[in-house]
């Protein structure tokens, strides 16, 4: 038992003096009296608000999880007639080819065109590994330049024998002396007829480049069809085309350089004994 003092209420102050009376109370009395303390009331209020906020957050999270589970269940149970339709053979082949490409890692050193004695020759790193699309674009450009160089090399020999009779003599330009049946043929103006022929040739090149001979993803680089039915799409023939094109690119540059030095066209350069 603990001894404490309790102040008299205002209604008894007129009968009893302002003195206090000793009373006995159990030890838990201070806890009961503490309820009247303002700081204790504020603490209780804050605790109650915290509990309410926590309950609201828990309820909100539970509602969100329930909505998500309901949405997933709805997506799983959504079955239509299209789900039971079997894909056609072309779609199956396309999907299998696509999955195969994803699984296989691409290495340009394993492609056609790598041959002795240099092997895979890419000192500048234009064709890194696992860049199939980049390599395909470079291979298409290599084949195109090789084909143009082969035509230019054959044309350099051909125009030595078949040309107009009214050709001027070789003349000096700012890059050197050119032959009228060699590089100099580009600088000869044959009047309106020749100009129209030049425009016609450029127009045909434009049509084939941008409308007819287009690269396709389902074909090899440089494959624009085979109307003659010649078996050209074999690894051996593709390798021959690449090597001949590479040689032709070097050859046509050598023919032009030799013409600037010797003033001779492609055929005259071969007649070193004359």
Pairing of strands 2-6, 171-173: unpaired
Please indicate, yes or no, if residue 135 is contained in any of the structural domains: yes
Please indicate, yes or no, if residue 248 is contained in any of the structural domains: yes
Mean pLDDT across the stretch 181-209? 84
Please indicate, yes or no, if residue 86 is contained in any of the structural domains: no
Q: Within this chain, do residues 260 and 139 fall inside the same structural domain, yes or no?
A: yes
Q: Within this chain, do residues 50 and 123 fall inside the same structural domain, yes or no?
A: no
Q: Within this chain, do residues 62 and 121 fall inside the same structural domain, yes or no?
A: no
Domain span at residue 43 reads 28-75
Q: Within this chain, do residues 232 and 136 fall inside the same structural domain, yes or no?
A: yes
Mean pLDDT across the stretch 134-157? 92
Any idea what DSSP says for residue 4? E
CB 245 within 8 A of CB 143: yes
Q: What 3-state class would DSSP assign to 24?
A: strand
CA 26, 27, 31, 36 torsion-angle sign: positive
Rounded to 5 degrees, φ, ψ at 242 are: -65, -45
Q: Which pLDDT does position 74 carry in this prediction?
A: 59
Q: Within this chain, do residues 56 and 149 fall inside the same structural domain, yes or no?
A: no
Q: Which pLDDT does position 147 carry in this prediction?
A: 93
Q: Within this chain, do residues 63 and 123 fall inside the same structural domain, yes or no?
A: no
In sequence order, the 6+-apart residues with CB closer than 8 A to the CB of 160 are 181, 265, 266, 267, 268
% of the chain exceeding 70 in pLDDT: 70
Please indicate, yes or no, if residue 22 is contained in any of the structural domains: no
CB 152 within 8 A of CB 252: yes
Mean pLDDT across the stretch 181-200? 81
Please indicate, yes or no, if residue 100 is contained in any of the structural domains: no
What secondary structure does DSSP assign to 190-254, as a single string?
-HHHHHHHHHHHHHHHHHIIIIIS---TTS-TT----TT-----SHHHHHHHHHHHHHHHHHHHH
Q: Within this chain, do residues 136 and 189 fall inside the same structural domain, yes or no?
A: yes
Q: Within this chain, do residues 163 and 214 fall inside the same structural domain, yes or no?
A: yes
Please indicate, yes or no, if residue 14 is contained in any of the structural domains: no
pLDDT tops 90 at residue 209: no
- Overall domain count for the chain: 2
Among residues 50, 75, 100, which one ends one of the domains?
75
> 140: closest CA among 116, 113, 158, 120?
113
Please indicate, yes or no, if residue 39 is contained in any of the structural domains: yes
Q: Within this chain, do residues 162 and 45 fall inside the same structural domain, yes or no?
A: no
CATH label of the domain that carries residue 164: 1.10.3460
* 160/267 Cα distance (integer angstroms): 7
Average pLDDT for the chain: 75
Q: Within this chain, do residues 47 and 127 fall inside the same structural domain, yes or no?
A: no
Any idea what DSSP says for residue 119? B
Please indicate, yes or no, if residue 171 is contained in any of the structural domains: yes
Q: Which pLDDT does position 191 carry in this prediction?
A: 76
Q: Within this chain, do residues 43 and 162 fall inside the same structural domain, yes or no?
A: no
Whether the full predicted model's pTM is greater than 0.75, yes or no, is no
Q: What is the pLDDT of residues 60-85, one digit of tens each?
A: 666 777 777 777 665 554 545 454 56
- Counting Cβ atoms within 10 Å, is residue 179 exposed (0-12), middle (13-18) or buried (19+)? buried
Q: Residue 177 forms beta bridges with which residues?
A: 172
Q: Within this chain, do residues 65 and 170 fall inside the same structural domain, yes or no?
A: no
pLDDT tops 90 at residue 164: no
Q: What is the pLDDT of residues 16-37, one digit of tens each?
A: 444 444 444 444 444 444 444 5
CB 170 within 8 A of CB 178: yes
């Amino acid at each position: 038992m603990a001894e404490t003092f309790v102040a008299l209420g205002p209604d008894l102050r007129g009968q009893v003096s302002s003195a206090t009376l000793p009373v006995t109370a159990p030890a838990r009395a201070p806890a009961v009296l503490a309820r009247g303390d303002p700081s204790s009331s504020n603490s209780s209020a804050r605790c109650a608000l915290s509990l309410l906020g926590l309950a609201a957050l828990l309820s909100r999270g539970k509602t969100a999880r329930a909505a998500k589970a309901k949405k997933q269940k709805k997506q799983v149970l959504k079955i239509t007639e299209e789900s039971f339709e079997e894909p056609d053979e072309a779609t199956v082949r396309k999907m299998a080819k696509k999955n195969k490409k994803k699984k296989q890692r691409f290495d340009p050193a394993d492609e056609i065109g790598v041959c002795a004695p240099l092997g895979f020759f890419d000192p500048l790193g234009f064709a890194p590994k696992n860049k199939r699309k980049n390599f395909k674009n470079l291979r298409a450009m290599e084949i195109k330049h090789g084909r143009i160089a082969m035509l230019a090399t054959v044309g350099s020999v051909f125009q030595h024998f078949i040309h107009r009779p009214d050709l001027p003599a070789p003349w000096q330009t700012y890059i050197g002396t050119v032959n009228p049946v060699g590089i100099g043929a580009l600088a000869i103006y044959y009047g309106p007829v020749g100009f129209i022929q030049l425009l016609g040739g450029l127009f045909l090149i434009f049509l084939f480049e941008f409308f007819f001979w287009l690269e396709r993803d389902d074909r090899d680089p440089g494959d624009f069809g085979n109307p003659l039915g010649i078996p050209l799409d074999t690894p051996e023939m593709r390798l021959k085309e690449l090597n001949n094109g590479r040689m032709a690119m070097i050859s046509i540059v050598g023919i032009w350089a030799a013409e600037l030095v010797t003033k001779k066209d492609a055929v005259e350069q071969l007649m070193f004994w004359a």
